[in-house]
Amino acid sequence: MRIAHLVTQTRGGPVDHTVDVAAEQVALGHDVHLVSPDGPHLAVAAAAGVHVHTASMTGTRDLRGARDVAARVRAIRPDVLHAQDRRAGLVGRTLARPRGAATVYTLHGVPDPMAHLVRGNDAVSPPDRRVHVSNAVGERWLSRVPRSIVVTPCEAVAEFARDHLGLRADRVVSVPNGVDPAWADLGSTNRLLTDDVTTVAWLGVMQPVKRVPELVAAAAAVPGVRLLLIGDGPERGAVEAAVARSGAADRIELVGFADDPAPLLARADVLALPSGAEACPLAVLQAMASGLPVVASSVGGIPEVVRHGVDGLLVAPGDAVALRDALRTMHVQPGDRRRMGESARARLLDGFTVRHCADRLLAVYEQVAA
């Protein structure tokens, strides 16, 4: 099968996911192409045997960029076009509409003003009816493209697509994200096991929805816990201010953005993700593959992956006391912590690897291309 993946970003979870899936599909014997703006991810994809094509679209009104993207996709003539972000979904499905081409669009997440409509999520910004109406009308129109399916990374977002965007149930399929099993090989080998200090890692983009300052305060309140913050973003200044006023700056390390976070996760004992809203975050899957138990908010698709008390501990979003107590439990009960880490790794390998994801997507492609 000739598959074309389309992204309009150069960094972030959807980009990492796309490269991983494309490489796995190559390994499965398919002819796979990636159309994307220039960036280091293209070299990674090319090294895995993916055919890369550079095309940039800076916004929904960038008509020149849209024409460039369309020309690249037409030249590939794929059996299936897989659009992997919002702009890609708009351009790809608009391009496919008059031609009857087979398209798949992954709805990786939802706009912040609509985040509270996903099961379990907090409101992370004021609701905006205009955003709701424009997204619902646009997605309903685009989803009616013949031979088109919307994929979501968790059932919580699939429910949102059906109930709040009004998409037909037969046009929405949930396919969980996956990560390379090689993460699991790293997990238990490099970690320094000690009961005196528990290293809690956070991984992601520093933005308000991630609620990193809340994690800083919770970790500071538990002596013996060290915090490793892996990532950067627009809220970096607020995070630094939270660290400065925490009284525990000597136990908190801001690493910044890491192209390869695996060696950093190998230094940790726990992953914490106190977000107000999520779908199926790659950070959770990467940590589980590394043998880390997860302390996370019970938002979006996280409870579909992490079983409370089995693979980690889930807390209500915004509950600072519960978050602090979960970190303390991980610190004072190292045996349970390690048991949950082993369970998390086994669960990942049993159903959330990139091979599982690629196989499920190929089944969707066959369905939509038929």
| Segments making up each domain of the chain, as ranges | 2-178+353-369, 182-351
Q: What is the mean pLDDT of each run of 10 residues along the chain (370 residues)?
A: 94 90 97 95 96 87 84 93 91 76 92 93 91 89 86 97 94 95 59 76 96 98 97 96 97 93 93 96 95 97 98 97 98 96 96 96 94
**Per-residue pLDDT, 187:** 46
- CATH homologous superfamily of domain 182-351? Glycogen Phosphorylase B; (3.40.50.2000)
How far apart are the C-alpha atoms of 230 and 67, rounded to whole Å? 37
CB distance 354 to 180 below 8 Å: yes
With 0-12 CB in 10 A as exposed, 13-18 as middle and 19+ as buried, what is 118? buried
Please determine whether the domains at 2-178+353-369 and 182-351 fall in the same fold group of CATH: yes
Architecture of domain 2-178+353-369: 3-Layer(aba) Sandwich (3.40)
**What is the pTM (predicted TM-score) of this model?**
0.90
**Per-residue pLDDT, 275:** 97
**Per-residue pLDDT, 195:** 65
pLDDT in tens, 132-161: 988 889 888 888 888 899 999 999 999 999
Give the DSSP H/E element, type plus range, for residue 324. helix 320-332
CB distance 226 to 199 below 8 Å: yes
Looking at this protein, which amino acid is placed at residue 305? V
